[in-house]
Homo-oligomer: A and B are copies of this chain.
Amino acid sequence: MLNQLSADSRKQIVTASVSRKLAKGEMLFLEGKIPSHVFFLVDGKMKLYTTDLQGREQIIHLAGPGDLMGYRAILGGDSLSCSASALELSHVLVVPKEVFLQTLDTDSAFSHQVIQLLTNELRHAEHHLAGLARKSVRARLAEVLLILADKFGFEPDGETLTVTLSREEIAGLVGTATETVIRLLHAMKDEGLLATSGRKLRLIDKDGLRKCSEDH
């Protein structure tokens, strides 16, 4: 993302920004606040989520290296619609709102980039939406596992997910109860679709999972 900027714009953004490291579990921003910065994730993994009245987290979005966070609220003039916290040690570039908006104004390549970004997120959101509404929890879980693979990749074995999430976090991603995730993972293990070892998930039969995610 930053690489595609003109040298001028990039320099301006980088010099106006502050670098920050976040420990696992540390929060970057909080739902409901007025945003004053956008955040460029240099390295690490983060989750963006809303918390409902019962205190349960619904994960709206996952971010990996190269992703931009917190810009939606700034573009729309809204308060932040979700909170962000680090899933592992992460490194972000904190960019003041003004610098972001000014670059948007002056650098048309950048504004095209941002349109592209929004477009992608919207496509994902729509797809997710259609799935959530109609699919069984089992199919949604299978899909989430494949999305995690796609987004964050595998370890050198080509099967084990590099993200490690708690069962509760997976539940928040799928939109179900923690217990249901546990039971379904267990069933999928019995069917030879995957293997679990603590929080490490190994996707053994990816085609099987794909079929699963297309069910019902």
Contacts and interface: CB of A to CB of B under 8 A. Distances in A.
A122 B72 contact: yes
Integer count of this chain's copies in the complex = 2
Interface in A46-95: 50, 52-53, 56, 58, 60-61, 72, 75-76, 78, 81-82
Give the interface size bracket for A toward B. 35 or more
A113 to B, nearest CB: 11
Interface in A139-175: 174-175
A20 B133 CA distance: 33
A24 interface: no
A209 to B, nearest CB: 17
A19 interface: no
Nearest to A53: B214
A120 interface: yes
Contact of A130 (B60, B111, B174): B60
A78 B123 contact: yes
A118 B111 contact: no
Contacts of A133: 58, 132, 174-175
A130 B58 contact: yes
A186 B206 CA distance: 44
17 contacts: A58-B130, A58-B134, A60-B126, A60-B129, A60-B130, A75-B115, A75-B119, A76-B119, A81-B123, A108-B108, A108-B111, A111-B115, A121-B122, A125-B125, A125-B129, A129-B132, A133-B175
Interface of A: 50, 52-53, 56, 58, 60-61, 72, 75-76, 78, 81-82, 104-105, 108, 111-112, 114-116, 118-123, 125-130, 132-134, 174-175, 214
Interface pairs A-B: 10 shortest CB-CB:
A133-B175, A125-B125, A118-B118, A76-B119, A75-B119, A132-B132, A58-B130, A50-B130, A122-B122, A58-B133
